[in-house]
Amino acid sequence: GAGVSQSPRYKVAKRGQDVALRCDPISGHVSLFWYQQALGQGPEFLTYFQNEAQLDKSGLPSDRFFAERPEGSVSTLKIQRTQQEDSAVYLCASSEYLNRADTQYFGPGTRLTVL
Amino acid sequence: AQSVAQPEDQVNVAEGNPLTVKCTYSVSGNPYLFWYVQYPNRGLQFLLKYITGDNLVKGSYGFEAEFNKSQTSFHLKKPSALVSDSALYFCAVRGGNQGGKLIFGQGTELSVKP
């Protein structure tokens, strides 16, 4: 079946612009995660959802970052007033349940470049 | 604090030789350990995980990993490396009070030469 998809794959924004990144999880997966991967680094957790409920947003770096999953499937990560330090690859992952043993399956990522 | 360390930024091996990519972790409670591989401009692909049971875990593409509780390690291994194994490898852990999130290491670049 289809894996996790993300769009756009690449996004260039001018500093101060707002951006929206979309994630389509694997169909039926309850849990959805967002990670940020800076160049040369491992992914770092941003936030996650169980269905439409955002259970942990402790990794969001500032109040400019906002995520939603209103119908418990597709999720959008929004960054307001982008800054150069927001340049990174944003990875989305989904898992079937919210069990610590569950595997998270990742999408290809959105590479955000802020000029 | 929960953490994962991958002490080698890069590992170089010759094709056909065995490979090891090292990972150590620090977590409260029982650890759930994962290995992922990342090819250029691609997302992370799941290789294998340790949940409980046998300390030797077998995964995709001939990879395996050995969980060692006393050394808090989860090294990735393959008996015979292929050039196509060249990629970036990430170890990750999910511990008792972390909720759903994975904590990743910094990654190890594996280069397999013919």
Name which of A33, A40, A42 is nearest B105 (Cβ-Cβ).
A42
Mean pLDDT taken over chain B: 93
B contact test, residue of A23, A35, A46, A104 with most B CBs within 10 A? A104
Residue A100's pLDDT is 77
Residue B1's pLDDT is 77
Over residues B2-27, mean pLDDT: 96
Over residues A70-75, mean pLDDT: 95
Q: Which residue has the tokens 């939603």?
A: A68
Contact B102 A108 (CB under 8 A): no
What residue of B is the nearest CA neighbor of A10?
A: B41
Q: What is the 3-class SS of chain B, one letter each residue?
A: CCEEECCCCEEEEECCCCEEECCEEECCCCCEEEEEEECCCCCEEEEEEECCCCCEEECHHHCEEEEECCCCEEEEEECCCCHHHCEEEEEEEECCCCCCCCEECCCEEEEEEC
Over residues A20-37, mean pLDDT: 96
Residue A19's pLDDT is 98
Contact A33 B107 (CB under 8 A): no
Name which of B43, B46, B100 is nearest A33 (Cβ-Cβ).
B100
Q: Would you say residue A98 has pLDDT above 90?
A: no
Name which of B42, B51, B102 is nearest A104 (Cβ-Cβ).
B102
Q: How far apart are CA A100 and CA B76, in angstroms?
A: 21
Residue B98's pLDDT is 60
Residue A9's pLDDT is 96
Model confidence at B67, pLDDT cuts 50, 70, 90, reads: very high
Q: What angle do CA B3, B6, B7 make, to 5 degrees?
A: 120
Over residues B95-105, mean pLDDT: 79
Q: How far apart are CA B72 and CA A109, in angstroms?
A: 31
Percentage above 90 pLDDT, chain A? 92
Residue B99's pLDDT is 67
Residue B108's pLDDT is 98
In this structure, of A37-51, B1-15, B90-104, the range with the lowest mean pLDDT score is B90-104
Over residues A44-61, mean pLDDT: 95
Q: Which residue has the tokens 């160049």?
A: A39
Question: Which residues of B are less than 8 Å from A44 in CB distance?
Answer: 104
Q: How far apart are CA A57 and CA B49, in angstroms?
A: 25
Contact B51 A48 (CB under 8 A): no
Q: Give the number of A-B residue pairs with CB atoms closer than 8 Å.
A: 65
Q: Would you say residue A54 has pLDDT above 70?
A: yes
What residue of A is the nearest CA neighbor of B91?
A: A42
Model confidence at B42, pLDDT cuts 50, 70, 90, reads: confident
Residue B96's pLDDT is 61
Residue B52's pLDDT is 86
Residue B6's pLDDT is 98
Name which of A42, A56, A101 is nearest B51 (Cβ-Cβ).
A101
